[in-house]
Amino acid sequence: MTPSRAPLIGITLDSEPPSTTGGYSRFAWYALRQNYMDMISACGGLPVAVGHDAAQAGQMVARLDGLVITGGAFDVPPDLYGDEPPHATVQTKPRRTAAEMALLGEGLALGRPVLGICGGMQLLAVLLGGRLVQHIPDTYPAALAHEQPNPRDEAGHVVHVTPGTQLARLVGCDTLAVNSSHHQAVADAGRGVVCATAPDGVVEAIELPGHPFCMGVQWHPEFGISAGDRLLFEGLIDAARQTGT
């Protein structure tokens, strides 16, 4: 990749069913908050939306320089990490999960820089052989409000960054103020390494040692709440420049 070319960063979309009450469309539709693309553009990347066709994952990732797996109001199916039955709160989107699993697998195999956000981090942990907590209050009775009551463009709590990790080197600090919008969490990161936790012990970030850039964060850094949020995206895009096609 020539130095003047902005790295092409794929961003996975959410999917919504047809609306029967006068919503966006009477047909199934994709969705993505604007700030995902805005943040990537601001950090020097060229964002492109990625749909949910698992069969095209190899061709798609081969053309990308980096990949962002986004979050959404749904859960990773528990059978993917050997935890049955599903909790009563669990909601799934199987087609989206299958496509994102395929994209992540191709991204890791090809050495592409990857950032998993919220549910994207949880899916990354599962792909790396880990497991999830299906419902935080059941495992952490004294948990913080990980579904924060205040707006998502404000901080909900802080996280403690693990010294010596790639995340610590990237953000240059040991605590970050983050937003929070999840009811599940990583119980075991598999081949990944935990690189940040909340004060109540909930895992907030993981990374894969030996990969150019493979990181997952439980919060939504696209809101740019702290300087560390932008540094995450800058780190992804810098890695994409170095490893790009």
Active site residues: 118, 220, 222
202 vs 1: CA distance, rounded Å: 39
Report DSSP state, residue 46.
Answer: E
Query: In sequence order, what are the residues at sequence separation of 6 or more whose Cβ sits closer than 8 angstroms to the Cβ of residue 111?
Result: 211, 212, 243
CA dist 177 → 31, 52, 61, 118 (Å): 27, 32, 32, 15
CA-based torsion, 80, 82, 83, 85: positive or negative: positive
Give the Cα-Cα-Cα angle 168, 169, 170 (nearest 5 degrees).
90
φ and ψ at residue 69, rounded to 5 degrees: -95, 115
What is the H or E stretch that residue 127 is in? Answer: helix 119-127
